[in-house]
Amino acid sequence: MEVKVNKKVKSATADELQSLTKEELIAKITQLEAHNSQLKSIVQKSLKSREETTQTKATKKHRPFDFSKCFKRHILLRFYYLGWDYQGFAAQEDSIETIEHHLFTALKKVCLIESRETSNYNRCGRTDKGVSAFHQVISLDVRSKFRPEDQLDDNKLTSELDYCSMLNRVLPEDIRCLAWMPMVNPAYSARFDCRSRTYRYFFPRGNLNISAMEESICHLVGTHDFRNLCKMDVGNGVVNFVRSIDEIRILPSQGDGYSDGSYDMMYVELRGKAFLWHQVRCIVAVLLLVGQGKEEPSVVKELLDVEKNPCKPQYSMASDVPLNLYECLFNEKSNESNDREQMESDLREWIYNEDNLRRTISELQGMWMKHSVKTTMIREMLKTLQDVYAGERPICDQAVLLTQGVRSKEYCPLLQRQRC
């Protein structure tokens, strides 16, 4: 009996693709799109099956919650997450490993909302795959113990449902709710009423020329067309690339304790109202090239001159791991306020629960301990090897490794590269 062996099909090389006719290429693309559609359908069915199984188990244990008997209130929720192992903040059709998926799973599990569609939900920032946040904020309507007319009473606020503790009991350990804020205006939006967003990008000093990088960032402040310093998102209708950066600076974060300072941690801090897709990572990628001496500080000014350079040179972005949505500031009055003349602010103070804060700090210290011990072990190994190394040029590649992509042996200046 003849046995047929299905061999794994190799990916076509660039040369092989170039040798194909137009008809063969169309057939290949059609085949790949059909295969991709089939895979997507399989993934969605698998995810739906997992969710239905979870919901069935929950239904067997508990009776359906009757939201018609509950009061609601509009709040802001502040939380942090370490996004390194997630596919970004926003929910996706083909993955449940997003911050938003876990957040809404938790909100429904503790019966704070009935569904996303009925929760009057808005998010402050939409961070990408691998990006973290220390100050992410969402606005939504949640269940309350009190009638709407009593909800802003001080005594009622202290005895309201402990929203953060309820959520933290069912959220993954790297996503934590920190505080909540009662809102007067039910139209107040974490997205549209945010007046500024601050990002921090952490990096080791290495052998970077920080002075040259600081000279570069001066050109970024103000309103510019950032098409050469972002990833274009025209597929989602983004055709305007003019944004404003209110402030940008480079600051030290923490020292390593060794004399050369190459392992000291720094960060680039950028503040603005809104940012383009991958804008921060593209800016940092160019700043790292300036710090390495591969580009002049004036290259940033050249890239911002879209009349002279209308097309983006091809370059790799900086890594997503060190990027953090660090702070969000909000308008005192909502853009949707009925009475703009009224002086009373729509904002209140953030409400923290001391026990929840203590647990969260303790959990973060535990995570810090694990990562810090690993870092210290690696640092001691490096120190031992560097004491033995007798090469003429010291090795300071800490910051260089933040730039993604393949590094060529001979560096080609940005403005001489092929354009997108």
- Residues with active-site annotation: 128
Residue 101: both structure tokens together:
């998926």
**Burial zone of 379 (CB within 10 Å; 0-12 exposed, 13-18 middle, 19+ buried):** middle
In a domain, 53, yes or no: no
In a domain, 26, yes or no: no
Q: Is the pLDDT of residue 82 over 60?
A: yes
Identify whether residues 266 and 313 lie together within a single domain. Answer: yes
Q: Is the pLDDT of residue 212 over 50?
A: yes
Q: Is the pLDDT of residue 147 over 80?
A: yes
Tell me the average pLDDT across 151-160.
Answer: 91
Which structural domain range is residue 227 located in? Answer: 197-325
Identify whether residues 320 and 211 lie together within a single domain. Answer: yes
Q: Is the pLDDT of residue 236 over 80?
A: no
**Burial zone of 61 (CB within 10 Å; 0-12 exposed, 13-18 middle, 19+ buried):** exposed
Identify whether residues 208 and 290 lie together within a single domain. Answer: yes
In a domain, 302, yes or no: yes
Which residue type is seen at 357?
Answer: L
CA distance 105 to 170: 9
Percent residues over pLDDT 90 in the chain: 60
**Tally of domains in the chain:** 2
Confidence of residue 397 (pLDDT cuts 50, 70, 90): confident
Least confident of 4-18, 38-52, 113-127, 318-332: 4-18
Tell me the average pLDDT across 319-323.
Answer: 95
Tell me the average pLDDT across 159-188.
Answer: 95
Which residue type is seen at 377?
Answer: M
Identify whether residues 124 and 163 lie together within a single domain. Answer: yes
What is the pTM for the complete model shown? 0.83
282 closest CA partner among 309, 320, 336? 320
Residue 35: both structure tokens together:
């295969």
Percent residues over pLDDT 70 in the chain: 90
Identify whether residues 188 and 113 lie together within a single domain. Answer: yes
205 closest CA partner among 403, 402, 398? 398
Q: What pLDDT is stored for residue 21 in this prediction? A: 85
Partnered with residue 92 across adjacent β-strands are: 95
Residue 237 Rama label (left phi>0; alpha psi -120 to 50; beta): left
Q: What pLDDT is stored for residue 54 in this prediction? A: 58
CB atoms within 10 A of CB 21: 8
End-to-end CA distance of the chain: 55
Whether 164 contacts 143, CB under 8 Å: no
DSSP notation for 38-57 = HHHHHHHHHHHHHHHHHHHH
DSSP notation for 219-268 = GGSEEEE-GGGS---GGGT----EEEEEEEEEEEEE--SSTT-TT-EEEE
170 closest CA partner among 87, 97, 109, 83? 109
Q: What pLDDT is stored for residue 342 in this prediction? A: 60
Q: What pLDDT is stored for residue 94 in this prediction? A: 82
Which residue type is seen at 374?
Answer: K
Determine the 3-state secondary structure of 145 from DSSP: coil
Q: In this structure, what are the phi and psi dihedrals at residue 412, rounded to the nearest 5 degrees?
A: -105, 120
Identify whether residues 312 and 281 lie together within a single domain. Answer: yes
Identify whether residues 216 and 178 lie together within a single domain. Answer: no
Q: What pLDDT is stored for residue 267 in this prediction? A: 96
Q: Is the pLDDT of residue 152 over 60?
A: yes
In a domain, 209, yes or no: yes
In a domain, 140, yes or no: yes
Q: Is the pLDDT of residue 103 over 80?
A: yes
Spell out the residues 6+ positions from residue 208 whose beta carbon is closer than 8 angstroms to its own. Answer: 288, 291, 292, 399
Q: What pLDDT is stored for residue 128 in this prediction? A: 93
CA distance 345 to 348: 8
Tell me the average pLDDT across 200-208.
Answer: 93
CA distance 88 to 97: 8
Q: How many CA atoms lie within 13 A of 358 on its CB side?
A: 3
Tell me the average pLDDT across 398-406.
Answer: 83
Confidence of residue 48 (pLDDT cuts 50, 70, 90): low
CB atoms within 10 A of CB 241: 19
Query: SS in 3 state form for 371-384?
Result: HHHHHHHHHHHHHH
CA distance 387 to 380: 11
Tell me the average pLDDT across 383-402.
Answer: 85
Residue 407: both structure tokens together:
């590094």
Q: Where residue 82 sits, what CATH number does that domain have?
A: 3.30.70.580
Identify whether residues 321 and 217 lie together within a single domain. Answer: yes
In a domain, 271, yes or no: yes
In a domain, 258, yes or no: yes
Q: Containing H/E element for 328?
A: strand 323-330
Q: Is the pLDDT of residue 58 over 80?
A: no
Determine the 3-state secondary structure of 72 from DSSP: strand
Identify whether residues 241 and 135 lie together within a single domain. Answer: no
Q: In this structure, what are the phi and psi dihedrals at residue 78, rounded to the nearest 5 degrees?
A: -110, 135
Q: Where residue 307 sits, what CATH number does that domain have?
A: 3.30.70.660
Of 311 and 391, the structure prediction assigns the larger pLDDT to: 311
Q: What pLDDT is stored for residue 302 in this prediction? A: 95
Q: Is the pLDDT of residue 221 over 60?
A: yes
Q: In this structure, what are the phi and psi dihedrals at residue 291, rounded to the nearest 5 degrees?
A: -65, -30
Q: What pLDDT is stored for residue 5 in this prediction? A: 46
Spell out the residues 6+ positions from residue 104 whose beta carbon is closer than 8 angstroms to its own. Answer: 91, 113, 116
Identify whether residues 78 and 165 lie together within a single domain. Answer: yes
299 closest CA partner among 375, 219, 191, 232? 219
Identify whether residues 229 and 150 lie together within a single domain. Answer: no
Least confident of 34-48, 232-246, 339-353: 34-48
Whether 256 contacts 383, CB under 8 Å: no
pLDDT digits (tens, 9 = 90+) for 5-19: 444 455 777 777 778
Identify whether residues 73 and 88 lie together within a single domain. Answer: yes
Determine the 3-state secondary structure of 4 from DSSP: coil
In a domain, 36, yes or no: no
Whether 271 contacts 247, CB under 8 Å: yes
Tell me the average pLDDT across 163-180.
Answer: 96
